[in-house]
Structure formats: structure tokens, C-alpha cells
Amino acid sequence: METLTGQVALITGGGRGIGAETAKQLAQHGATVVLVARTQAQLEATAAQIRDAGGAAYWFAADVSDEGALREAVQSALSIRGGIDILVNNAGFIQSFGAIASSDPADWWRTLEGNLKGLYLTTRLVLPSMLEQGRGQILNVLSVAGARAFAGLSAYSCAKAAGLMFTRVLAKEVRKQGIRVMAILPGAVDTAIWGDGEAIPDREKMIRPETVARLIVQMLTTPADATVDELLVLPQEGIL
């Protein structure tokens, strides 16, 4: 397992769930973590937990679909040590549920844009510094919904499927420049993205966020002579 000591890792959606757990574990492996999300209180709380455990953490409140705010956050992250070594694109949400025939176009496009636009913008803003330094890792947290069809999740599924193709194209473009690009596609994970509805799967059967984070860290610490391009991770019982 490779060391992350001295590296800077930027994690979007870093205030809670998979993003927060990933930040904590990356900090435990020696990385300086930079958390980006919309909710300041969650960012502060996660950063405080990391610092209390002896890690180094910074945070910047920004919506990843807001290019101006995101640009400021990335520039601030770059100023910490002059570069960003790891980017974990984790931010995402679901606003459009239900059948396509009865879907609300505004919610549908908002879900698509909120997941895909943030992935693109964050990558586009961070990538030049990685190309300049000749190394880096980009890991996109997607979903099994991007590889398998789920009724009622058309917008989210389309966004994650597009994110998977984005990952594959980017990997081909930058692989020979020393940059690894990877994707993890988890099944049901016990996070706030499910909301409080009665129709959700049994949370006790879901994957824990810290388990996904552990797998992310393993991917990012794979020895330099190999890469884990894509990892599909399901609950023990499979699709819930």
C-alpha cells in the first residue's frame, strides 16, 4: 500500500456520508484533506473530527455546480501546498424520483446537472495542475445505477452512466501523463441521499459509508504499477 503522506486530497461532498468518511481515512493515511460541500456546519464538524484525530483538514463551502464558487475553492486548495494530488468527486444528490412519464422536467434536469456538471467542473478546474506536475489521481464516486437500470431513477441513472463514460474517456486522455482515473460504483449505501421515505430498502442491509471509504483508499493506494479502473460494490445480499 502506497503512502499518502505529504499529498493534498480534495473531496467534494466532504461534509457527510461517503465523502466525510473518505476524508477521515485519507487523513489517517497522511494526506492533507480539503473538504468542499454546500453546508458549512457539516464541513466544520467533519474537519474538526479530522483535526482532533491528529490529521490536517481544510474546508471551503461551495456548490460544485456553481463554477465561480468552485473555482475559488479549488484555487484556495491549490494554494495550500502548490498542488492537488488526489481528487475524489463524490458530491451528488437525487431530486427526481418516479416514472419518466410523470416526471417533472425541472427536477429531472436539476438532478442530471447537479450530478454531472459538478463532476465535470471540479475535474476541469483541478486537472491542469495535475497535468503540470505530471501526476495525480482522480476517483469518481458513481453508482450501480450508472451500470444497471432502476425504474424510477432515470435522471440519477443517466447522470451516473454519463459519469462512468466521462471517467473512461478521461482515463484514456491522461493515463500516459501520469494520472490515474478511476470509478467506484456502490450499490445501496446507508447515507442521507435516501431521505426518510418508507419505500427505501432496509438500511441494516446497506453498505456502511466507511466501508466504501475504505475501498476508495485502497484504490488510491494501489502501487504505481497498476490501477483499479472501475470497482462495482454491492451489499452482501446484492441489489436491495
Q: What are 199's three cell numbers? A: 419505500
Distance CA 112, CA 223 (A): 34
Query: Could you tell me the CA-to-CA distances from 69 to 62, 63, 77, 119 in Å, in that order?
Result: 5, 7, 13, 14
Strands 136-141 and 179-186: what pairing? parallel
Max CA-CA distance within the chain? Answer: 51
Considering the candidates 156, 179, 209, 212, report the single residue annotated as catalytic.
156
**CB–CB of 203/190 below 8 Å?**
yes
Q: Is residue 156 annotated as part of the catalytic site, yes or no?
A: yes
Catalytically active residues are: 156
